[in-house]
Structure 1
Amino acid sequence: MTDNGLVTIASRFPVAETIERLMAAITARNMLVFARIDHAGGAAKAGMSLRPTELLIFGHPKGGTPLMQDKQTAGIDLPLKALAWEDADGKVWLTFNTASWVAERHGLDDGGAAVKAMDQMLPAVAKEATS
Structure 2
Amino acid sequence: MSTGTLRSFANDEMQPDGIITIESPFGFDETLQRVNAAIDAQGDTVHFGTVDFQANAQAFELTIPSSYMILFGGPAPGGKAMGSSPTLGLDAFCQKSLVWQDAEGTTYLSFNELLALADRQGVSKSLALRVINFRLEKTFNEALQKEVF
Higher helix share: 1
Flag whether TM exceeds 0.5 (same fold).
yes
Q: Distance in 1 between matches of 2:122 and 2:76?
A: 20
TM-score for both structures, normalised by structure 2: 0.78
Structure 1 residues without counterparts, runs of 5 or longer: none
1:95 is matched with 110
User: Which residue of 29, 46, 49 maps to 2:42?
Assistant: 29
Paired residues, number: 129
Q: CA deviation at 1:16?
A: 2.9
User: For the Cα contact (< 8 Å) 1:54–1:85, is it kept in 2?
Assistant: yes
2:73 is matched with 59
User: Which residue of 98, 102, 126 maps to 1:83?
Assistant: 98
Q: Write out the 4+ residue segments of structure 1 that deviate beyond 4 Å after TM superposition.
A: none
Q: C-alpha offsets along residues 63-96 of structure 1, whole Å, 9 cap, x if unaligned? A: 2223333232211111111111100111111111
Equivalences for 1:1-131 in 2 at 5 Å? 3-30=16-43, 31-77=45-91, 78-109=93-124, 112-131=126-145
Look at both structures and tell me which one has the larger radius of gyration over its CA atoms. 2
Q: Distance in 1 between matches of 2:143 and 2:51?
A: 17
Higher strand share: 1
Q: 1:112 to 1:71 in 2, by over 3 A?
A: closer
Q: C-alpha offsets along residues 24-77 of structure 1, whole Å, 9 cap, x if unaligned? A: 111111211111211001111111111000011111111222333323221111
Q: Distance in 2 between matches of 1:57 and 1:117?
A: 19
Partner amino acid, structure 1, of 2:25:
R
**Identical-pair percentage:** 30
Q: CA deviation at 1:116?
A: 1.5
TM-score for both structures, normalised by structure 1: 0.88
Tell me which moved more, 40-49 or 71-80. Answer: 71-80
